[in-house]
Amino acid sequence: MQFQPANSIDEQRSLESLVDLIATGAFNLFVDHLPDGLLVLDDSDLAIAINSPARTMCRFEEDVIGMPFGELIAISALEEESRERLAGEQNRLELLLHFTDGRSVLATRRTLRDQAGEKHLKLLFLRDLHLFDHQRRSASGVAPGNLFRFLSQRSGGPDFATQRQLVPELDALLENGSRALQQGARLLLSGESGSGKTEIARFLHRSIATAEEPFVHVNCAAIPESLFESEMFGYEKGTFTGALSTGKAGLIEAANGGTLFLDEVGEIPLSLQAKLLKFLEDGIVGRIGSRVEKKASVRIMSATNKDLWQLVDDRQFRSDLYYRLAVINLEVTPLRQHPPLIRHLVDYFLDRINILREPKLSLSTETVNLLCRYDYPGNIRELHNVIQQLSVMAGGIALPAHLPPRLLEHCGYAPGAVPQPGTDSNARPLKELVKEYETRLINQAIEEHGSKRKAADALGVNIGTIVRKTKQ
């Protein structure tokens, strides 16, 4: 028996039948039980199916069926850069996407077409890497833990002892911050997003507080305006519809005797700044719906990535609140201003990832060089995300090809300069090719860093190796 290839009419009918199937309840019941998220788009880029895991990952609270793909990703919980990358027109892609709450998802897009190319469906698969890692470790019997938790969620936190030696500005900031808190002064940390303000706040709290004293981190940008007052000050039972029958203590009460860290303080609603100001003036806190007021003794630290003075000029932030919060204003400098810190953090993140990773991840010399040359507009958070991407995309050794395209483009990386498989250069002995490539890297490092000793440090070898190989 001979099998005849399907013609375009058969393929078109098959595709149309699949579209009809997608509209049925049976299809939705099936895809809702998939472990990964699935979004199906028709040839007009309209959403025709989405399963429950995808809704949960993207934080969709409304029905998105029939919505154009561009509008759909605009209301998702994706970070802006991930939205732009996902909006590309490629029919087949794999991307590491980041959500505003810190989660990471591997997105894979595939396209089904009929032979004539007139009809098609796009399938977007979303895999939650945190969940995948948990399942992988559970299946292998590895002790529970989250491989990709950020520094603030790890025991011990950053290695500030080393970082202070590498960055004198950081050493001075931590010294001044500790002195300010010891004297009861309120502290404002300002700096670009991802520069480590939260980690610095935690360190400063630990430097002066006992183990029993609480550290309450309040992300002001994550609390809806309608809930801000009740979250900060608490409420009595029966105060409003949906209130807990027992009432609830506010975050200020929870921080009593310890430290209250107001992160993204520039996002506090203007209508509620007056009530916070009153607490800062007299230290008295009262729950919503209660006539009883309590004294709360808390240290206050704040952080912002915005120009609060500009917000004051725009009448979006009260000047008297600014003066209450910024008794001492410390500027956290961006990562790009401290190249030695970049190399330290690369090694630090790599060590943390390798605690639970098999096989252990290593970075090629060229990959390390590219990581150290990039300027990281997203600062430490972006560097952490890049190392996380390498851990997902690479096997045992991370090569430049595993790095994000934006990083390679910024560093002017030209993979064509390296002999590629299939070219005439591969007819030469491997040893000769490796030696030529090694010499090119060494000369480039010497030119970039200005001396053989600095080039040796950058390449992770001793000076004798550089001297010997340049003589050869």
Helices (H), 168-223: 168-182, 197-208
pLDDT at residue 301, as a whole number: 97
Of the CA atoms within 13 Å of residue 297, those in its CB half-sphere come to: 3
pLDDT at residue 139, as a whole number: 63
Helices (H), 248-401: 251-254, 270-282, 308-313, 319-325, 339-354, 365-373, 379-393
Contact at 8 Å (CB) between 93 and 109?
Answer: yes
> 384 CB contacts (<8 Å, ≥6 apart)?
150, 151, 345, 349
Question: Quick one: average pLDDT of 44-69?
Answer: 82
In angstroms, the CA 261 to CA 367 distance is 37
> 39 CB contacts (<8 Å, ≥6 apart)?
47, 49, 50, 54, 72, 123, 124, 126
**What CATH topology corresponds to 339-471?**
Helicase, Ruva Protein; domain 3 (1.10.8)
Structure-block tokens of residue 446: 């010497």
Tens digit of pLDDT for each residue in 318-343?
A: 999 999 999 999 999 999 999 999 99
Cα dihedral 307→309→312→313 (10° resolution): -100
Of 466, 426, 424, the residue nearest 442 (C-alpha): 466
Tens digit of pLDDT for each residue in 33-42?
A: 787 888 888 8
CATH of 8-134, one of 3.20.20.210, 1.20.1730.10, 3.40.190.10, 3.30.450.20: 3.30.450.20
Structure-block tokens of residue 273: 């700044």
The per-type count for the chain, helices as H runs and strands as E runs, is 21, 16
Look up the CATH architecture of domain 157-333. Answer: 3-Layer(aba) Sandwich (3.40)
Of 377, 402, 374, the residue nearest 388 (C-alpha): 402
Q: How is 388-406 classified by DSSP, letter by letter?
A: HHHHHH-SSEE-GGGS-HH
Distance of CA 412 to the CA centre of its chain: 24
Q: Which residue has the tokens 């007021």?
A: 293
Q: Which residue has the tokens 């001979």?
A: 2
Of 119, 126, 92, the residue nearest 19 (C-alpha): 119
Domain spans, the chain: 8-134, 157-333, 339-471
**Number of Cβ atoms within 10 Å of the Cβ of 294:** 15
Q: Burial, 41: exposed, middle or buried (Cβ in 10 Å; 0-12, 13-18, 19+)?
A: buried
In angstroms, the CA 289 to CA 287 distance is 6
Of 368, 393, 389, 367, the residue nearest 378 (C-alpha): 389
What is the number of residues in the chain? 472
State the chain's mean pLDDT as an integer: 81
pLDDT at 157 over 50: yes
- % pLDDT > 90, the chain: 32
Question: Quick one: average pLDDT of 156-180?
Answer: 89
Contact at 8 Å (CB) between 343 and 372?
Answer: yes
Question: Quick one: average pLDDT of 119-131?
Answer: 79
Highest mean pLDDT among 96-110, 152-166, 275-289: 275-289
Tens digit of pLDDT for each residue in 193-227?
A: 999 999 999 999 999 988 889 999 999 998 888 88
In angstroms, the CA 216 to CA 372 distance is 34
Residue with more model confidence, 129 or 427:
129
In angstroms, the CA 89 to CA 85 distance is 9
